[in-house]
Structure 1
Amino acid sequence: MFMSRPSITTTSNSSSQTIKTMSPGKVILFGEHFVVYGYPSLIASIDKYFKVTVRRPSLYKGEIRIESNLGFTSVKYRGGEITISPMSLDTKFVNIVTKLYTIIDYLINNEKMISKELAETYKEEGLFIKLESDLPPGGGLGSSSAFCVALSGSLYYAEHNDLDQNNICNQSINAEKLINIDTSGADCSICSFGGFGTFDKINGFKRLSADMDDYQFLIINSGVAHDTYSMVERVSKFKKNNSDLFDQFCKSYLQIYEEGIKTIQSQNINHLGILINQNHELLSKLTISNTLIEKIVETCNGFGALGTKITGAGGGGCVLSLIDRSNHQSEVRLLERLGELGLEYFFTRIDTLGLRLT
């Protein structure tokens, strides 16, 4: 069971230290791609987490060792060489590991996070980092953002014995920009603070007061990793070639968003489902859906879901479905059908705490 109160575990060696953090993933209820063009989005954190354990010293001096539940172990040596095992891992894991070390190096050398003295200690003694994620990479559930936030939290706590969520959030955004230059900061914000929030380019992130503890979402993984950059480019091309139509979509979206805020605050679950479907229709018209995603949406809604949509950049990743769990018969049939299609899925609730230590 997770604890919301910060705690720290130290070994018998006073110079040794182990810190464990976790940060929630996220879903986008409204606003994919429209947020790129200045419109507000509605995001929420979920009770699926990226957990990070940081321990010093490492097994061998000067090395930064990573162990992950994705099935790999990697070591970066003092000279900069990186090894990954097992060696049979495909290219995507090599790219993931490279990005992980890019973020780690940035945070260790960031004086807004830790002092030069502690940074030198890490470099001299080495560092062990264990990663445990409930979030599928490339699924659009904020895996990279949750990692940045959780790791930033561990390193900051080691120095300050405290969690400054604002500072950690800001440095997490800077870290993620190293691997995703177009990141808006919305994901790191909701992963840091939890609950519901709105985000737009002018006003940034604002926490939204809403009680949805009784709501559950069904998340279905399409099994196809999404490419945010290519999807953003696709929408940009659509806008260029269909400017008037794109403007109409934006106006329709803004109405959906404004109604969505009121609907969540009034807990009108049936109308929320209608708005989710409407938002998905707009995303489909922007050409970021595909045959598999449409099959998932059709299946969920055909078996009683109140609303189903892409959550994330599209082109793959995960699909979010709002389920009326009181209709047990329809739910059972839906889950059976998803299983027949070979799709992985899970239910999730809204996380209200954000970043914390375990």
Structure 2
Amino acid sequence: MHVFTRSGVERTSQKFHSTDTSTVKKNKQNKTATPIPSRSHNRRPLPPIRPPSPALPPPQPPLPPILRSRLASPPSASASLPPLAVFRLSPPSRPPHFPTSTAAAPIHHPAASIHHSCARSAGRASTFPSKATRLLHWWPPPNPVAATSGSRPCRQEGFVRSLMEVCAARAPGKIILAGEHAVVHGSAAVAAAIDLYTRCSLCLMPLADDKAAATLELDLKDPGLTFSWPCGRLREVLLTDEAAGAREARPCSPDRLASIARLLEEHEIPEAKIWLSAGLSAFLFLYTSILGCRPGKVTVSSDLPMGSGLGSSAAFCVSMSGVLLTAAGVVTAVGGISGEGMGWELVGKDDLELVNRWAFQGEKIIHGKPSGIDNAVSTFGSMIKFKKGELTNLKSSNPVKMLITDTRVGRNTKALVAGVSERASRHSDAMASVFNAVNSISEEVSSIVELAANDEIAITSKEEKLAELMEMNQGLLQCMGVSHSSIETVLRTTLKFNLVSKLTGAGGGGCVLTLIPTMLSNLVLEKVIAELESHSFRCFKVEVGGQGLQVCQGGCSYFNGDVV
């Protein structure tokens, strides 16, 4: 019997050749299968079974740059350090580098809590998973050999000084759809939030052993200025070290305002930036009233041009109050924002009321006697109708888009308001009719924005009515004497493309609104923007009626000093 291997070489199967012939014939008669020669002698032996290798520990997240810089030069070994918390994820798990001894069990420390649920900057991924509540981990990892039974793991001296509590808040700017100036004389006004924000981030440092070395720092990104105050100097001038009580918004007393002015005099503010003094006063008042004289760093950035009628000062006060009250544990988030996916969370209604009261106190320092409409819109968002101190929330059923043109022309709001009042005193009957007409326009605008439109025809009709009311309101503002040549240039430019515009805010320059119809093509819109920018104006495309104050606790972006 010959058997061919896979290589085609003929060989004789010894085992099959030795089979008895009679047995083979018997098998044929019984129709049984012919025995198949065994090939076990051709198989390679299997490798021995080895126990599975232990799973490699997951990679640890990189140390944030600011912590690396602080750990580069640890302080003296005589510092007394409280126990720290171990890095935890949800569900809790022990870090792979941490000793398994029961003596090395983690102990929670309040100063080590950081909630990493924050956003990412555009195009930059977060190092930490969002929506995860964590505790800051030991860094560098403790030496497992040093942790013996009955002893705690080793850690670097001075590590507590590297800990920080990080949180942030952002508040939107606002536009006034109808009712500027007339609202001061009893007419209704309609204001709305826009998706341009002022953002404040806070790195709240733990109290150092040497309180004289602790500082409070304010970094203003847009002007490119940084201000710093030693905490000891703050305690000396303000005669306080503790917060006055964050749960109750108290006005700034004249004595406290005078003390804050003394602190500002110690800084050489550039003459071109002297207008920052009021904002710095509001910052020092809010910070020391809510958090006392604790060391920390506050970073502020904004999409809003300052002094242009978009509520930049109110957005500053609201976002500042929000981040300080969040750090104080008074304000808490209630949930994420649908579709955002960036870690910003909404705030409950009661907490928003408290933030609004604090922001109003800051606005009083900046403006003297504000109406309260700017900080209310920035806090609560959406659209509101404001009349004689009463706020009515409006629910916009359809998105409204506007083109905001910043004329880059500064103006004096107080002087413009005073000018309207003088004109009203000289022509009381005529101006009363103007104010009544503005009131009717505001009431109709508030009704239109809440009107539901389910198809293109209804949406187009709604936008046409809104455009007509904006055009009438602009004519009445011209009667009040608050227009400007730059505003008229914007009106003429947009009218070439059959678009309606009106000023927003105090007038005399500032910003101008242009309604963007839903059916307007992007090509036409780009032509409008290009022609406006040829006059050295600046344009923003915004959506009206968005969310108000939002907070974010933690996030790796803030370790680098950035603000998302």
- Give the 5 Å matches for 1:105-254: 105-110=284-289, 114=290, 118-120=291-293, 122=294, 126-160=295-329, 161-162=331-332, 163=347, 164-203=351-390, 205-213=391-399, 215-254=400-439
- Shift of the 11–243 alpha-carbon distance from structure 1 to 2, 3 Å rule, reads farther
2:279–2:366 Cα contact (<8 Å) kept: no
CA offset at residue 159 of structure 1? Answer: 1.3
- Once superposed, what is the RMSD of the aligned Cα atoms? 2.6
Cα distance in structure 1, aligned partners of 2:463 and 2:281: 42
Distance (whole Å) between structure 2 residues aligned to residue 10 and residue 247 of structure 1? 62
Distance 1:226 1:252, change over 3 A: same
Residue 256 of structure 2 is aligned to residue 63 of structure 1: no
Alignment partners' CA distance in 2, 1:297 and 1:208: 28
**Contact map agreement 2:395 2:449 (CA 8 A) in 1:** no
1:269 aligns with: 463
Alignment-mate amino acid for residue 119 of structure 1: G
Residue aligned with 1:137, SS: coil
Aligned to 1:76: 229
The answer (yes or no) to whether the contact 1:31–1:42 under 8 Å persists in 2 is yes
1:291 corresponding residue in structure 2: 485
Give the structure 2 partner of residue 330 of structure 1. Answer: 524
Whole-angstrom distance in 2 between the partners of 1:128 and 1:174: 22
SS in 2 for 1:270: helix
User: In the TM superposition, what are the counterparts of 1:277-316 in structure 2 within 5 Å?
Assistant: 277-305=471-499, 307-316=500-509
The residue type paired with residue 105 of structure 1 is L
Shift of 1:40: 1.3
Secondary structure, counterpart of 1:179 in structure 2: helix
Q: 1:292 to 1:6 in 2, by over 3 A?
A: farther
Q: Quick check: 2:394–2:450 contact (8 Å CA) kept in 1?
A: no
Aligned equivalents of 1:51 and 1:351: distance in 2? 18
Residue type at the aligned position of 2:395: S
Match of 2:39 in 1: none
SS of equivalent residue, structure 1 residue 99: helix
Amino acid at match of 1:263: I
- Give yes or no for contact 2:352–2:380 (8 Å, CA) kept in 1: yes
- Identify the residue that residue 321 of structure 1 maps to in structure 2: 514
Structure 2 counterpart of 1:210, one-letter code: S
Q: TM-score scaled by structure 1? A: 0.87
Asked if 1:349 is matched to 2:502, the reply is no
Matched pairs, number: 340
Which of 266, 278, 294 aligns to 1:99? It is 278
CA displacement at 1:146 relative to structure 2: 0.3
**Deviation per residue, 1:199-250 (Å, 9 max, x gap):** 12242x221112232x210000010122211110110111111111101101
2:448 alignment partner AA: T
Determine helix, strand or coil for the equivalent of 1:357.
Answer: strand
Aligned CA distance change for structure 1 residues 2 and 30 (closer, same or farther; 3 Å): farther
SS at match of 1:178: helix
Contact 1:25 1:50 in 2 (8 A): yes
| Structure with larger RCO (C-alpha < 8 A, sep 6+) | 1
Structure-to-structure mapping, 1:15-34, within 5 angstroms? 16-34=164-182
- The CA deviation string for residues 270-313 of structure 1, in whole angstroms up to 9 with x for no partner, is 110010011011111111111111111121122121x2111100
Greater helix proportion: 1
Question: Higher mean Cα deviation, 146-155 or 71-80?
Answer: 71-80
The amino acid that maps onto 2:510 is G
Moved more, 54-63 or 347-356: 54-63
How many Å separate the matches in 2 of 1:175 and 1:304? Answer: 41
Identical aligned residues as a percent = 26
- 2:274 match: secondary structure: helix
Structure 1 residues 39 and 11, CA, compared in 2 at 3 Å: closer, same or farther? Answer: farther
AA of the residue aligned to 2:297? F
| Matches of 2:488 and 2:132, distance apart in 1 | 45
User: 2:394 & 2:299 partners in 1: Cα distance?
Assistant: 32
Instruction: Single out whichever of 278-287 and 100-109 deviates more from structure 2.
Output: 100-109
- Offset at residue 331 of structure 1 (A): 2.2
After TM superposition, give the deviation of residue 81 of structure 1 in Å.
5.5
| CA–CA distance in structure 1, aligned partners of residues 197 and 386 of structure 2 | 21
Q: Distance in 2 between matches of 1:11 and 1:152?
A: 25
CA change 1:9–1:92 in 2 (3 A) is: farther
Unaligned runs of 5+ in 2: 1-117, 121-129, 138-159, 234-262, 333-346, 454-461, 553-564
Task: Identify the residue that residue 87 of structure 2 maps to in structure 1.
Answer: none
Aligned mates of 1:153, 1:37 — CA distance in 2: 31
Bigger radius of gyration among the two: 2
Instruction: Rate the CA distance shift 1:109–1:68 in 2: closer, same or farther, 3 A.
Output: same
Which residue does 1:339 correspond to in 2?
533
C-alpha distance 18-2 of structure 1, shift in aligned 2 (>3 A): closer
- For 2:322 and 2:131, locate their aligned partners in 1 and report how far apart those are by CA, in whole Å: 11
TM-score of the aligned structures, taking structure 2 as reference length: 0.57
